[in-house]
Structure 1
Amino acid sequence: MEATDKVFAGPIPQIYDRLLVPLIFRPYAEDLADRVMASRPSRILELAAGTGALTRAMAARLDGASIVATDLNQPMLDLAAAQLPGNDRVVWQQADALDLPFADESFDAAACQFGVMFFPDKPKSHREVRRVLRPGGRYLFNVWDAVASNDFTAVLLDALAEAFPADPPRFIERTPHGYHDVGTIELDLMAGGFARPMIERIEKRARADSAVDVATGFCQGTPIRGEIEARGAPGLMAATEAVAKALEHRFGSGPIEGGIAAYVVSAQRE
């Protein structure tokens, strides 16, 4: 993983939240929130909260419980907090998932929405989660399946490869879609001290008002933006337009939809 893969700053958080959250993150946030709240935890830790898609879904289901929502990127947390004003059951805190600033056995459940892929030392992050979970506590997270199983990202990468044939941007393939091997996930969790996890593959549909919205979300609302800008010509706007045209060619003009797939992982501290 490149150092820039974890940088969500500048205009990225706003574009990410406006276009990508409803497109691909909200459907899985609703699913994961149901799973987290099923055990009726009283204190929940969220890792890599981003702009708060999962936080909001869990907050809507709270029944006396509280959430500590963390992320490495303060700009993402600031945007997330602004969308849940006055909610005293949600605390926002900047934190590194590899060095959590919390006491041992201080949470009943932990959750992470499409963030584990960004952790540079996954077994270490799992050990940290296990440390702060109480015995019997569950850790639930989701990760994207391979690019080939996610229609919009597959078209995106093909279009960017045509736009930058000598050195195509690889962020999407390298990091968000780079942690989908079930065997590796199991081994990493067990190396972190968890028992063998339960892993379920979930397919959903992503819908957008236009191909331009999808192209703008991915090209300008993720760290792939920095990769595109670093390459110079044809430039960010031209690359976004090329991706939009490729999406229109595949899915048509006007509102579009495509398949998305992810794994949901559940591990318990024994």
Structure 2
Amino acid sequence: MAQHNADRVADWNGQSGERWVAHQARLDAIAAMFGQAAIEAAAPATGERVLDVGCGAGASTLALAARVGAGGQVLRVDISEPLIARARARAPQDTPALFRVADASSAELPEGAFDILFSRFGVMFFDDPTKAFAHMRRALKPGGRVAFVCWRGTAENDWMRLPMGAIKGIVPMAPPDPEAPGPFSFGDPERITRILTAAGFTDIAITPFDASVSFGEGATRDAAIDGAVKMTLEVGPLSRALADQPDDIRARALAAVRAAFASCPGERSLMINGATSIVKARNPAS
């Protein structure tokens, strides 16, 4: 597990972090509806302090900062220096937000300092999620709130289902461990409940939130399909699946992925289905 964490940190400070920065505008647009739903669940009020855990290049941090105002504060923690740098560059000088490169699962955090623990797709990657949430809970005030959004299962999310289903039979792949750290490790609501309960949280509520989002864009339908293939190749698991494949296998796989995206509706923008859970919980008052 320690080696996995070291590899994850290295990746997000290397190729993955750089690719997410390059595609930041599109990725934020895809995640916007889901992030906003999580913010509404968190219900940040003027003057509150929020711990924002690992969620891209700062879009949710800025939205939270606007809600808490000058009398509040948002601390955004992420393991990726490129993403934190992008977040800092985007933030107006008077934004009540701090940005810190660290692993929220183990970083030193001020005890009992925050009203809200928030995350937009940032909590599914912990090696030991129960330990991570127990650690972060200590940074919450008594009675403090948790609100985050996480992906549900692979089969319900077209951005994974379409490309990875298309290459099945072309590229050999071991079946994934559904509880291994990764974007879908919180796909099972019962597992989320077990983790948060063991970490000491109460009042756990998990609500499905689904939306159709624009994934590929272009001046024509063909260009939009090409955009979807490029996006999934550069920021999704497809790149890892194809990394060591010979050119002929790679070409067949990409043709199959393109055909899969061609089944999606839309002309200059392909629409795909996204399935998430909005999770709420509370730190006991005493």
Moved more, 44-53 or 10-19: 10-19
Contact 2:49-2:68 at 8 Å conserved across structures: no
Select 2:61's aligned residue among 55, 59, 62: 55
Aligned amino acid, residue 53 of structure 1 = A
Instruction: Indicate the residue corresponding to 2:257 in structure 1.
Output: 243
What is the percentage of aligned positions where both structures have the same residue? 23
Moved more, 87-96 or 228-237: 228-237
Contact 1:15-1:220 at 8 Å conserved across structures: no
Change (3 A) 1:252 1:107: closer
1:12 CA drift (Å): 1.5
Contact 2:52-2:118 at 8 Å conserved across structures: yes
1:33 paired with 2:47, answer no
Instruction: Indicate the residue corresponding to 1:128 in structure 2.
Output: 135
- Partner SS, residue 177 of structure 1: coil
Change (3 A) 1:12 1:150: same
Select 1:158's aligned residue among 162, 165, 186: 165
Change (3 A) 1:38 1:66: closer
Moved more, 137-146 or 2-11: 2-11
C-alpha distance in structure 2 between counterparts of 1:170 and 1:19, whole Å: 27
Aligned amino acid, residue 147 of structure 1 = T
Change (3 A) 1:13 1:151: closer
TM-score computed with the length of structure 1 as normaliser:
0.87
1:113-166 alpha-carbon deviations (Å, 9 max, x no partner) = 1111101111111111210000111011111111221223211111232441x2
Q: Which runs of 5+ in 2 are unaligned?
A: 218-223
Instruction: Indicate the residue corresponding to 1:194 in structure 2.
Output: 201
Change (3 A) 1:236 1:63: farther
Instruction: Indicate the residue corresponding to 2:21 in structure 1.
Output: 14
1:228 CA drift (Å): 2.8
Instruction: Indicate the residue corresponding to 1:111 in structure 2.
Output: 118
Change (3 A) 1:224 1:106: farther
Contact 2:47-2:68 at 8 Å conserved across structures: no
Change (3 A) 1:179 1:104: same
Select 1:149's aligned residue among 134, 152, 156: 156
C-alpha distance in structure 1 between counterparts of 2:273 and 2:140, whole Å: 34
TM-score computed with the length of structure 2 as normaliser:
0.82
The number of equivalent residue pairs is 268
- Partner SS, residue 144 of structure 2: strand
Contact 2:264-2:271 at 8 Å conserved across structures: no
Q: Which runs of 5+ in 1 are unaligned?
A: none
Higher relative contact order (CA 8 A, sep 6+): 1
